[in-house]
């Protein structure tokens, strides 16, 4: 850096001696940027001002604009917003008068940056959009500036909580970075786009972009970006209920931040892990991670990150009835939010403190805090937090002023309906019912009770739909992971194959050099050596061919020995070999299930349509069973028309879902023009089986029960035992 400054100053002296003002202005601009990057603000500012002054004297409007933009960027980085605004007010009309599209676009972009920095996000959106109107779409040299405008538009809409627009402009930015082949910015933008899709509730799309980001980060040197991508993926996995996968990704990010002692990164990932353990109801573990954040140097942590940790531990302490500790921690969080001017979060924590007092039956204090929470929520216009403060406030006021309680509850109900928060609507109905009953308005109380019941049914239906969506996202995440792992394995195999070929070439080259040396050493033995080499090559080819053929035959024989000839499923012997291998493991997981399946009325099919048709039906059912399974699951033909399905790492609930899928698909499929059904029996390692035979017998008993109860159904072994 020092050498660069010396060279630039030498060039500047020469330009000034030669009275080359244009070159002098350019060198002053370069020096301004160099001094800026080395944090020499005083010198940088002098150079920028000098460059602008010279360009104005030359009447070079375009250079005045470009240098002024550099100077504004310098001022914005130092939070000198008033000076930045004055320069923008001067250069924006100048650029429009100059009528050159690219300088106009650059000026609108820096104006957008200025409004973004001072948190006037609507004005930022306006200026970034104006910039888009002046970028020539076919000019590749400015595509990175176009992508920057898209990215900043997305960030501005994100601050305005315009979720759809945020995702739209991140997608536009990603398209441009992809066209430019800028992998680092592709990876980072894919991660932010994943976050935007997550906020929209598009969890499958979010996970797709997130895993893309991680995959691209594996190809570039951007450990910080990769850590952010891992953390983002962890949050998405948490939302689809895959907590172990979420923890795995966030922990990787945590380890990176710890390795470089990034205090902010450590704090944020610790909070994320705390939230995960809270979701898993492992509150002590959650508390330990929040305490990691609290124990970090507080001057190096973003205040809101520290406040989040304090707030979450306060809730854990409240639920554990440690009221004194809960109040202390919540008060500390509140003080931080107040000092940061974050009224929204202050409203949340004030309500938590109200909950703490209510739990101790200090109703007067609780009412005061609920009123304060409501006031703060009204000041920031948060309908959600207003509703959440109004209902508990009304519930406490009910004891002494039912009329005021009714007014507050109706307001809460109206807000909850407006934001479509069904849990808050239900809460309001419940308290309104109690209030009207207390006032002896029994008809009104009954009306609210009926609404309460109807809403509970709606919520249960929504929960079912939400669970289905999460299940689909969960399945899709598994599919993506398998595809990525397959691609990685293929890449490894390709690398190994390439290395093998290179080694073979190297060996051939070495053999050639050895042969040449031998020929030089004894020229009279050349014919003999050539003959020997030919013989060796033929011998190697012969041996290799024999080895290859033998290996092929062995593979074919092994396949024939392991597979059922008709269905290509594993046969009974291979099934028991696999089960014995699994049961020999000392750490066989508790999630391990067996499904026994049997084709209903198969004898009738054989007797009516013949054995050829019966074989075709068995083959068709086997294919349907395989289609319903995951990569590591096994289906074996157990005997005749009976199949055994092995499901490693599978809960009973998941096994039931798979069996239902099989039952439905078989029932809907015509095989050889015949309607076919199957009966199923399920057993789990959690039922106490100690051997493969015992586990299969349990599933077989459940299958027998399905047959007894009318066929075409599923039963668990445990249900038989209970009966």
Rama region for 271: left / alpha / beta (φ>0; ψ in -120 to 50; rest)? alpha
Q: What b/e string do you get for 629-641 counting C-beta neighbours within 10 Å, with b at 16 or more?
A: beeebbbbbbeeb
Please give the average per-residue pLDDT across 528-542, as a whole number: 47
pLDDT of residue 543: 43
Say yes or no: 576 and 648 in one domain: yes
Mean pLDDT computed over 340-367: 94
Give residue 492's pLDDT.
Answer: 57
Strands (E), 181-335: none
Q: Are 398 and 434 in contact (CB under 8 A)?
A: yes
In this structure, is residue 507 part of a structural domain? no
Both 596 and 672 in a single domain?
A: yes
User: Does 665 share its domain with 576?
Assistant: yes
Q: In terms of DSSP bridges, do strands 678-684 and 670-671 run parallel, antiparallel, or are they unpaired?
A: unpaired
In 2-25, which positions are buried (b, 16+ CB within 10 angstroms) versus exposed (e)?
Answer: eeebeebeebbeebeeeeeeebbb
Q: Which of 394, 390, 386, 389 is nearest to 438 (CA)?
A: 394
CATH number at residue 641: 3.30.70.270
Q: Does 174 reside within a domain?
A: no
Percent of the chain with pLDDT over 90: 56
Q: Is the predicted pLDDT of residue 373 greater than 50, yes or no?
A: yes
Whether residue 501 has pLDDT greater than 60: no
Q: Contact 25/67 with Cβ under 8 angstroms? A: yes
Share of the chain above pLDDT 70, in %: 85
Does any domain span residue 547? yes
Pair 602, 639 in one domain? yes
| Residues 677 and 607 grouped into a single domain | yes
Same domain, 609 and 691: yes
Contact present, 80 and 42 (Cβ < 8 Å): no
pLDDT confidence of residue 547: 47
How does pLDDT run across 409-456, given as a tens digit for each residue?
A: 888 888 888 877 777 778 777 777 877 777 777 787 777 777 777 777
DSSP conformation class of 570: B
Contact 683, 710 (CB under 8 A): no
Residue 92 sits at the vertex; the CA angle it makes with 90 and 165, to the nearest 5 degrees, is 135
Q: How far is CA 40 from CA 33, 37, 81, in A?
A: 10, 8, 19
Q: Is residue 105 part of a domain?
A: no
Q: Using an 8 Å Cβ cutoff, are 354 and 366 in contact?
A: yes
Boundary residue ending a domain (509, 541, 562): 562
Q: Are 324 and 286 in contact (CB under 8 A)?
A: no
Domain boundary pick from 562, 584, 613: 562
- Global pTM reads 0.57
What is the rounded average pLDDT for all residues in the chain?
85
548 burial (CB, 10 Å; 0-12 / 13-18 / 19+) is exposed
Residue 344 to residue 354: CA distance in whole angstroms: 16
Whether residue 234 contacts residue 253, with contact meaning beta carbons closer than 8 Å, is answered with: yes
Classify 562 as helix, strand or coil.
helix
Cα 291 to Cα 297: distance, rounded to the nearest angstrom = 12
Q: Is residue 532 part of a domain?
A: yes
For the cut 70, the answer to whether the pLDDT of residue 216 exceeds it is yes
Confidence of residue 171 (pLDDT cuts 50, 70, 90): very high
Orientation angle between helical segments 163-180 and 143-159, nearest 10 degrees: 160
Residues 641 and 533 in one domain: no
Residues 532 and 669 in one domain: no
Sign of the Cα torsion 216, 218, 219, 225 reads positive
- Domain assignment present for 17: no
- For residue 224, the model assigns a pLDDT of 92
Picking from 348-352, 624-628, 650-654, which range would have the lowest pLDDT averaged per residue? 650-654
pLDDT of residue 557: 42
- pLDDT score recorded for residue 562: 79
Same-domain status, 539 and 576: no
Q: Are 539 and 616 contained in the same domain?
A: no
Domain count, the chain: 2
51 vs 363: CA distance, rounded Å: 67
> Are residues 689 and 583 part of one domain?
yes
Q: Under 8 Å CB-to-CB from 206, ≥6 apart: which residues?
A: 194, 195, 197, 198, 236
Instruction: Point out which residues pair with 684 in neighbouring strands.
Output: 593
Please state the length of the chain.
723
Residue 581 maps to a domain = yes
Q: Which domain holds residue 555?
A: 522-562
pLDDT digits (tens, 9 = 90+) for 175-195: 999 999 999 999 999 999 999
End-of-domain residue from the set 531, 562, 593:
562
What is the number of other CB atoms lying within 10 angstroms of the CB of residue 387? 26
pLDDT bracket for residue 204 (50, 70, 90): confident
Is 651 a domain residue?
yes
pLDDT at 583: 87
Residue 401, pLDDT score:
84
What is the per-residue pLDDT for 368? Answer: 95
Under 8 Å between Cβ of 337 and 346:
yes
Which residues are within 8 A (CB) of 92 and not within 5 positions of it... i.e. 6 or more apart? 107, 108, 111
Q: Are residues 590 and 653 in the same domain?
A: yes
Residue pair 592/625 in contact by the 8 Å Cβ criterion: no
């Amino acid at each position: 850096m020092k050498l660069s400054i010396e060279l630039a100053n030498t060039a500047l002296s020469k330009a000034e001696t030669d009275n080359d003002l244009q070159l002098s202005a350019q060198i002053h601009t370069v020096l301004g940027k160099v001094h800026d990057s080395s944090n020499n603000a005083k010198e940088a500012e002098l150079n920028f001002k000098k460059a602008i002054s010279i360009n104005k004297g030359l009447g070079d409007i375009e250079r005045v604009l470009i240098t002024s933009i550099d100077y504004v960027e310098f001022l914005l980085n130092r939070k000198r917003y008033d000076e930045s605004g004055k320069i923008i007010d001067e250069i924006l009309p100048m650029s429009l008068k100059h009528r050159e599209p690219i300088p106009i676009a650059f000026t609108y972009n820096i104006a957008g940056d200025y409004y973004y920095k001072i948190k006037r996000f609507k004005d930022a959106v306006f200026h970034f959009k104006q910039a888009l109107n002046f970028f020539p779409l076919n000019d590749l040299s400015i595509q990175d500036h176009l992508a920057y405008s898209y990215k900043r538009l997305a960030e501005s809409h994100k601050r305005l909580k315009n979720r759809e627009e945020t995702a739209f402009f991140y997608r536009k930015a990603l398209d441009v970075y992809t066209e430019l082949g800028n992998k680092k910015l592709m990876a980072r933008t894919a991660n932010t786009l994943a976050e935007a899709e997550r906020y929209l509730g598009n969890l499958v799309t979010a996970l797709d972009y997130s895993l893309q980001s991680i995959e691209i980060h594996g190809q570039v040197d951007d450990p910080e970006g990769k850590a952010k991508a891992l953390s983002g993926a962890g949050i998405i996995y948490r939302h689809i209920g895959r907590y172990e996968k979420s923890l795995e990704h966030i922990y990787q990010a945590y380890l990176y931040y710890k390795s470089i002692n990034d205090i902010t990164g450590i704090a944020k990932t610790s909070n994320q892990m705390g939230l995960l353990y809270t979701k898993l109801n492992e509150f002590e573990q959650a508390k330990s991670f929040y305490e990691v954040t609290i124990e970090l140097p507080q001057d190096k942590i973003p205040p809101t990150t520290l406040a989040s940790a304090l707030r979450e531990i306060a809730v854990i302490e409240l639920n554990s009835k440690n009221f004194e500790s809960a109040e202390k921690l919540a008060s500390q969080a509140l003080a931080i939010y107040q000092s940061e001017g974050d009224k929204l979060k202050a409203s949340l924590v004030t309500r938590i403190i109200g909950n703490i007092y209510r739990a101790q039956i200090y109703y007067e204090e609780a009412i005061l805090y609920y009123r304060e929470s409501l006031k703060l929520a009204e000041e920031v216009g948060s309908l959600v937090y207003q509703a959440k403060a109004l209902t508990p406030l009304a519930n406490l006021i009910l004891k002494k002023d039912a009329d005021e309680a009714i007014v507050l509850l109706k307001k809460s109900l109206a807000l909850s309906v407006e934001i479509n928060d069904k849990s808050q609507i239900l809460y309001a109905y419940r308290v309104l019912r109690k209030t009207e009953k207390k006032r002896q308005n029994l008809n009104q109380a009954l009306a609210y009770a009926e609404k309460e019941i109807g809403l509970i049914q709606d919520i249960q239906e929504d929960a079912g739909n939400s669970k289905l969506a999460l299940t689909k996202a969960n399945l899709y995440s598994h599919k993506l992971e398998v595809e990525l792992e397959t691609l990685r394995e293929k890449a490894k195999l390709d690398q190994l194959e390439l290395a093998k070929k290179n080694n073979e070439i190297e060996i051939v080259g070495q053999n050639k050099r050895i042969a040449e040396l031998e020929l030089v050493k004894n020229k009279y033995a050349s014919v003999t050596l050539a003959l020997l080499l030919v013989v060796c090559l033929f011998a190697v080819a012969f041996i290799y061919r024999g080895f290859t053929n033998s290996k092929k035959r062995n593979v074919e024989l092994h396949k024939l020995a392991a597979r059922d000839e008709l269905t290509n499923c594993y046969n009974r012997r291979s099934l028991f070999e696999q089960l014995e291998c699994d049961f020999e493991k000392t750490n066989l997981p508790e999630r391990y299930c067996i499904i026994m399946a049997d084709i209903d009325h198969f004898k009738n099919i054989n007797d009516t349509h013949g054995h050829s048709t019966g074989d075709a039906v068995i083959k068709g059912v086997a294919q349907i069973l395989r289609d319903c399974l995951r990569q590591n699951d096994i289906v074996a033909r157990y005997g005749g028309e009976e199949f055994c399905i092995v499901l490693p790492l599978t809960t009973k609930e998941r096994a039931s879902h798979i069996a239902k899928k099989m039952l439905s698909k078989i029932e809907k499929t015509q095989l050889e023009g015949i309607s076919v059904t199957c009966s199923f029996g399920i057993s789990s390692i959690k039922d106490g089986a100690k051997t493969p035979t015992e586990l299969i017998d349990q599933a077989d008993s459940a299958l027998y029960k399905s047959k007894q109860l009318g066929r075409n159904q599923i039963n668990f072994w445990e249900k038989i035992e209970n009966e």
